[in-house]
């Protein structure tokens, strides 16, 4: 691909552009002669700042995928957790090149964590997953919808609209504002969203040159881990939609451990399975079936 211009489709937010910079650096390291152009695209999630994200899918990804399909972009860089598990015909995930810390972070005005919040404090979140797990930690908290990019959400906490919000630590780090994390919630306190912290690079399946270029920056371990987590989520979405979380890790011996959690009838149901890294999809499906069975 040396000398070729590669057009990268992305949202225009600071976080999205920071993620493009990461991917561009990987691509240039693999092919120093590659020229990159950034194609900024406005998504439905950027235009609509009031509708709860749980009401629909593809808020931040569908418009970018359309740009891939109609040829305005050659690749798309996504926060992998934002991609619906249903795959559009003609598009493939060409690479999962990097994954930041998967944990969630509590952001408050004064830098305190959950324990420092008053009884009845108001948490701004658009995530059913986060709300369900926070309720288990602090049943007294109140929850209100919050929308907007990372900086907007933090600004609304600082402005007094909310007492706290919970954001992906990965986003805070990529924006250079990790110091705003008043508390970092480990997986035992809050299991992350499937593929949280990971970047997915998507392209047209028929574009063999780009598929080959992306293969050079793919990390098989990350693909196995995120693949298992997303298979778990896909199996849950087969029937209905509800708060769910998953985290997979591949050990040095090639064994993959998958942890999963769902909220069913107001009760958190969790479990884990282990298996071969190459069977991540099957592991995700089996764990989803097990938890759904336990939840009735």
Q: Which residues are catalytic?
A: 82
Residue 30 near residue 217 (C-beta atoms within 8 A): yes
β-bridge partners, 99:
198
Indicate the burial class of 161 (C-beta count within 10 angstroms; 0-12, 13-18, 19 or more).
middle
Closest Cα partner for 259 from 167, 190, 170, 169? 190
> CB count, 10 Å around CB of 15?
18
Two structure tokens written together for 112: 């305190």
Two structure tokens written together for 30: 């693999």
Residue 200 near residue 225 (C-beta atoms within 8 A): no
How big is the CA angle at 130 (ends 126 and 132), to the nearest 5 degrees?
Answer: 110
Closest Cα partner for 280 from 240, 220, 237, 236? 220
d(CA 228, CA 244): 14
d(CA 66, CA 72): 9
* Largest interatomic CA distance in the chain: 60
Closest Cα partner for 50 from 62, 59, 41, 61? 59
């Amino acid at each position: 691909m040396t000398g070729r211009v590669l057009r990268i489709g992305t949202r225009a937010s600071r976080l999205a552009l920071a993620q493009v910079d990461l991917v561009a650096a990987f691509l240039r390291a693999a092919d120093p002669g590659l020229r990159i152009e950034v194609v900024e695209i406005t998504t439905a999630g950027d235009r609509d700042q009031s509708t709860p994200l749980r009401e629909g899918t593809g808020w931040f990804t569908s418009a970018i995928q359309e740009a891939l399909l109609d040829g305005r972009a050659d690749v798309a860089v996504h926060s992998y957790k934002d991609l619906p598990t249903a795959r559009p015909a003609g598009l493939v995930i060409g690479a999962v090149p990097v994954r930041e810390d998967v944990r969630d972070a509590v952001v408050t005005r004064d830098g305190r964590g959950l324990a420092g919040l008053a009884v009845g404090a108001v948490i701004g979140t658009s995530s059913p997953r986060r709300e369900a797990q926070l309720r288990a930690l602090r049943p007294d908290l109140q929850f209100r919808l919050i929308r907007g990019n990372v900086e907007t959400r933090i600004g609304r906490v600082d402005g007094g609209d909310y007492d706290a919000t919970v954001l992906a630590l990965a986003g805070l780090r990529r924006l250079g504002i990790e110091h705003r994390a008043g508390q970092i919630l480990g997986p035992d306190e809050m299991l992350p969203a499937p593929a949280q912290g990971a970047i997915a690079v998507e392209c047209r399946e028929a574009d063999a040159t780009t598929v080959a270029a992306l293969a050079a920056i793919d990390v098989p371990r990350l693909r196995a881990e995120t693949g298992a987590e997303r298979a778990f989520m896909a199996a849950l979405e087969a029937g209905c939609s509800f708060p769910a979380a998953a985290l997979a890790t591949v050990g040095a011996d090639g064994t993959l451990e998958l942890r999963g959690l769902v909220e069913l009838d107001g009760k958190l149901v969790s479990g884990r399975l282990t298996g071969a890294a190459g069977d991540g999809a099957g592991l995700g499906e089996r764990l989803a079936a097990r938890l759904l069975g336990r939840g009735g």
